[in-house]
């Protein structure tokens, strides 16, 4: 079975085509700056021998042209990996917000589309782009099943005490204001990998997954189910991120409005785009920030202290909530690549049973790996995330269930 995974943003499309028999990637790529004169598509084709890598800087007007280009690359008579689009059995779409309706992936029907549209107010930047991606994919892959895999779904197992805010009841009942959590495919993927490595019944496990990329979030996963997560109604909450604040005193926006006269759009821009690492150091890229810090830049030193402090707080909070801790898992760009940050986060945590082995931690390698000492009571793991593969796996599961139901 071949599954194409599509992750559509307002000006980007990421794609990855999988052969599900051996879970291998046949081709993957990204289109950036859709609708801009400087748009480009970079892609990789994994054929026997050397993979082909290419980047075309060509104008791509919109999502329809973008997907057309992807189809051309996949079906190229010389270098393509499929003869025609009918070889693709399913298209798995990343859909950011599934609200309270979806706790798992769904075959896309008119009803599902209507619901995803209804949820636009909860994800005004993301769900419209995801809808566009689905509509365009239906045109280009008319024979394929279309499946929606929701970023929020993994966190739907949270109990009310975790997802409710102490706001008036009607704001939850009428407006569905509550914590949803995001990065679900990543937390789901790495927690399943972690559970496989733990040699104990899933029901008895307690792990914390730490996704540190441009966006950062953590999840407390007890008995294989998410019981709490750091992002909330939107991906702005929780940890300090590349450009987002994470949790701040809720009165700060009032202050920005009343004292500085800023409007909602300006406040939104500050909190979402100009804060986090960028707000403190001028750069949202962790590599730059770590370099500045190494050169003694005071703002970078402070930014990393703040960044690490917040992660430590959530580790402590989640350990306390779960009443147990088997392992913590680092993933995504920063979590997988920065041994220095992992070391700072795990520093002075032996009271919780967390002891990092500095030499294992500093050794770079691909794949899942433990980086704790032999005596550490809590495992510390680096598990590379693979959100696209998780979307493909969940899409395949949905299709198989449908086939079984029809049989």
Comparing CB distances to ligand ADP, the nearer of 11 and 338 is 338
214 scored as a contact of ligand ADP (CB under 6 A): yes
Least separation in angstroms between CB 306 and ligand ADP? 15
User: Where are the alpha helices (H) located in 164-296, listed in sequence order?
Assistant: 169-173, 184-197, 252-258, 264-273, 276-281, 286-294
Q: Of 287, 294, 362, 363, which lies in the binding site for ligand ADP, with binding defined by CB under 6 A?
A: 287
Comparing CB distances to ligand ADP, the nearer of 47 and 287 is 287
* Residue indicated by tokens 């496989």: 196
232 scored as a contact of ligand ADP (CB under 6 A): no
Q: Of 333, 353, 370, 384, which lies in the binding site for ligand ADP, with binding defined by CB under 6 A?
A: 333
Degrees (nearest 5) of the Cα angle 143, 146, 148? Answer: 175
CB 72 within 8 A of CB 31: no
337 scored as a contact of ligand ADP (CB under 6 A): yes
Comparing CB distances to ligand ADP, the nearer of 273 and 377 is 273
Comparing CB distances to ligand ADP, the nearer of 285 and 357 is 285
- Rounded CA-CA distance 7/135 in Å is 13
334 scored as a contact of ligand ADP (CB under 6 A): yes
Q: How many CA atoms lie within 13 A of 89 on its CB side?
A: 16
Q: Which residue is nearest to ligand ADP (CB)?
A: 333
Comparing CB distances to ligand ADP, the nearer of 127 and 386 is 386
172 to each of 97, 118, 130, 236, how far by Cα in Å? 16, 16, 25, 19
To the query of whether residue 151 is one of the catalytic residues in this protein, the response is yes
- Rounded CA-CA distance 185/170 in Å is 30
**Would you call 372 helix, strand, or coil by DSSP?**
strand
Applying CB under 6 A, the span of 18-26, 136-144, 212-220, 264-272 interacting with ligand ADP comes to 212-220
Comparing CB distances to ligand ADP, the nearer of 249 and 366 is 366
242 scored as a contact of ligand ADP (CB under 6 A): yes
Least separation in angstroms between CB 213 and ligand ADP? 3
Please, which residues bridge with residue 372 across strands? Answer: 356
29 scored as a contact of ligand ADP (CB under 6 A): no
Catalytic residue among 76, 84, 111, 151: 151
Comparing CB distances to ligand ADP, the nearer of 327 and 386 is 386
Q: Is 190 exposed, middle or buried (0-12, 13-18, 19+ CB in 10 A)?
A: buried
Q: Of 66, 98, 181, 215, which lies in the binding site for ligand ADP, with binding defined by CB under 6 A?
A: 215
Least separation in angstroms between CB 181 and ligand ADP? 15
262 scored as a contact of ligand ADP (CB under 6 A): no
Applying CB under 6 A, the span of 107-115, 116-124, 209-217, 350-358 interacting with ligand ADP comes to 209-217
- Residues in the interface with ligand ADP (CB under 6 A) total 13
CB 28 within 8 A of CB 15: yes
Applying CB under 6 A, the span of 106-114, 229-237, 285-293, 344-352 interacting with ligand ADP comes to 285-293
**Closest by Cα among 86, 48, 85, 57 to 70:** 85
Strands 24-32 and 379-382 turn out to be unpaired
**Closest by Cα among 157, 213, 224 to 186:** 213
- Rounded CA-CA distance 360/380 in Å is 11
285 scored as a contact of ligand ADP (CB under 6 A): yes
- Rounded CA-CA distance 3/20 in Å is 7
**Would you call 161 helix, strand, or coil by DSSP?**
helix
Within residues 100-119, the interface with ligand ADP by CB under 6 A covers none
338 scored as a contact of ligand ADP (CB under 6 A): yes
Task: List, by residue number, the catalytic residues.
Answer: 151
- Site residues for ligand ADP per CB under 6 A: 213-215, 242, 285-287, 290, 332-334, 337-338
């Amino acid at each position: 079975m071949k599954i194409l995974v599509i992750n559509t943003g307002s000006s980007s499309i990421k794609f990855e085509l999988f052969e599900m028999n051996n879970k291998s990637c046949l081709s993957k790529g990204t289109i950036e700056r859709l609708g801009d004169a400087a748009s480009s598509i970079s892609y990789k084709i994994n054929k026997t021998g050397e993979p082909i890598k290419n980047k075309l800087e060509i104008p791509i007007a919109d999502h329809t042209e973008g997907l057309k280009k992807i189809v051309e690359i996949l079906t190229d008579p010389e270098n393509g990996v499929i003869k025609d689009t009918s070889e693709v059995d399913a298209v798995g779409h990343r859909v950011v917000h599934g609200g309270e309706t979806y706790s798992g992936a769904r075959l896309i029907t008119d009803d599902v589309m209507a619901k995803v549209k209804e949820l636009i107010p909860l994800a005004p930047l993301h769900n419209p782009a995801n809808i566009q991606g689905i509509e365009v994919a239906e045109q280009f892959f008319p024979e394929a099943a279309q499946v929606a895999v929701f970023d929020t779904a993994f966190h739907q197992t949270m109990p009310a005490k975790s997802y409710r805010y102490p706001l008036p009841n009607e704001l939850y009942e009428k407006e569905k204001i509550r914590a949803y959590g995001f990065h679900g495919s990543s937390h789901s993927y790495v927690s399943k990998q972690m559970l496989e490595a733990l040699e104990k019944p899933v029901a008895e496990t307690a792990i914390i997954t730490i996704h540190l990329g441009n966006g950062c979030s953590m999840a407390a996963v007890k008995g294989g189910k998410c019981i709490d997560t750091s992002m909330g109604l939107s991906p702005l909450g929780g940890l300090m991120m590349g450009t987002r604040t994470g949790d701040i005193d809720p009165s700060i926006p009032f202050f920005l409005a009343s004292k500085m006269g800023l409007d909602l759009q300006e406040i939104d821009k500050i909190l979402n785009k100009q804060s986090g690492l960028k707000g403190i150091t001028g750069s949202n890229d962790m590599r730059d920030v770590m370099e500045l810090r190494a050169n003694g830049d005071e703002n970078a030193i402070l930014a990393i202290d703040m960044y690490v402090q917040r992660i430590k707080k959530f580790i402590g909070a989640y350990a306390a909530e779960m009443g147990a801790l088997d392992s913590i898992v680092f993933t995504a760009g920063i979590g997988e690549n920065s041994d220095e940050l992992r070391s700072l986060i795990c520093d002075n945590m032996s009271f919780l049973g967390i002891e990092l082995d500095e030499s294992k931690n500093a050794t770079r390698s691909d794949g899942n790996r433990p980086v704790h000492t032999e005596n550490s009571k809590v495992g510390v793991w680096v598990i590379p995330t693979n959100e696209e593969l998780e979307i493909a796996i969940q899409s395949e599961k949905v299709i198989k269930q449908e086939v079984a139901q029809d049989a």
